[in-house]
């Protein structure tokens, strides 16, 4: 018997969606006792052939009130976890730690006018959960989602973001959402074409969103590859933005994508 089995539940895949060869989403059943705040992540486990279990952190795409859990993953060639995860099909099982983790949550901030959600790749996942939280729309006048990817095919969850306008808990409030896609490795007419830090430095990001970044009115959440998180944080720090900590007021919250 697994000595740690009281720390996790065994959940079943109920749906799987492949966006590209290297990107996929999946849904699982959800134990009724699992609780999380939008923006947090779960620890998922898979058993290897030798009987050991590998664990990795994945932000929830789903809302806290959903009866399922949804996750968004990249496939890392030669990786220990994601190739196994990518092979799972509906009906297969995954372990889910009973505790949710992470502090990429809007309660890190004092109220403000604008919420900026800056993501690369699968770093979009926690922001999709935050967008499904009615409190997000009550707390902020403007919400900007910036999703940076390498190719246009990697611009995911577009329909889901548009569908927020008919969401029973969000509805017309979602018309305040400003989506700014950026594609770095090919030219796309409807998207910007540079890394997020560069777009902040030259003003193109603010121009595309139609909103200015300033410490009084802007709260910024950053999630994605470590280089983007580091460089964006540094760029914003030059403009006076500071990390929000439990003991310190700030305007930024950051987390590397998993």
Q: In total, how many domains does the chain have?
A: 2
C-alpha torsion sign, points 210, 122, 98, 89 = positive
CATH number, domain containing residue 127: 3.40.50.80
* Each residue's pLDDT tens digit, 171-180: 999 999 999 9
CATH number, domain at 44? 2.40.30.10
Residues 170 and 125 in one domain: yes
**Structural domain containing residue 185:** 106-256
- Give the model confidence (pLDDT) of 62-119 as tens digits: 999 999 999 999 999 999 999 999 999 999 999 999 999 999 999 999 889 999 999 9
- Closest by CA to 10, choosing from 46, 63, 37, is 46
Residue 212 CB partners (closer than 8 Å, separation 6+): 206, 218
pTM: 0.96
Domain end, chosen from 55, 80, 97, is at 97
């Amino acid at each position: 018997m697994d000595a740690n089995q009281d720390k996790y539940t065994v959940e079943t895949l109920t749906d799987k969606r492949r966006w590209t060869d290297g990107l996929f989403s999946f849904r699982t059943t959800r134990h009724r006792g699992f609780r999380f705040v939008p923006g947090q992540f779960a620890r998922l486990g898979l058993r290897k052939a030798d009987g050991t279990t590998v664990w990795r952190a994945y932000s929830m795409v789903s809302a806290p009130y959903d009866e399922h859990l949804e996750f968004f993953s990249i496939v890392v060639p030669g990786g220990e976890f994601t190739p196994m995860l990518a092979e799972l099909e509906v009906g297969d099982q995954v372990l889910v730690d009973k505790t949710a983790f992470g502090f990429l949550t809007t309660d890190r901030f004092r109220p403000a006018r604008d919420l900026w959600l800056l993501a690369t790749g699968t770093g979009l996942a926690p922001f999709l959960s935050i967008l499904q939280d009615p409190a997000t729309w009550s707390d902020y006048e403007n919400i900007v989602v910036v999703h940076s990817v390498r190719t246009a095919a990697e611009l995911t969850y577009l329909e889901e973001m548009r569908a927020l306008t008919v969401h029973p808990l969000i509805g017309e409030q979602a018309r305040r959402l400003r989506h700014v896609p950026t594609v770095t490795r090919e030219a796309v007419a409807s998207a910007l074409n540079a890394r997020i830090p560069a777009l902040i430095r030259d003003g193109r990001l603010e121009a595309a969103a139609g909103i200015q970044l300033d410490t009084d009115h802007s709260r910024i959440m950053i999630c994605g590859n470590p280089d983007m998180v580091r460089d964006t944080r540094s760029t914003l720090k030059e403009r006076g933005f500071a990390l929000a900590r439990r003991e310190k007021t700030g305007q930024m919250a950051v987390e590397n994508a998993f």
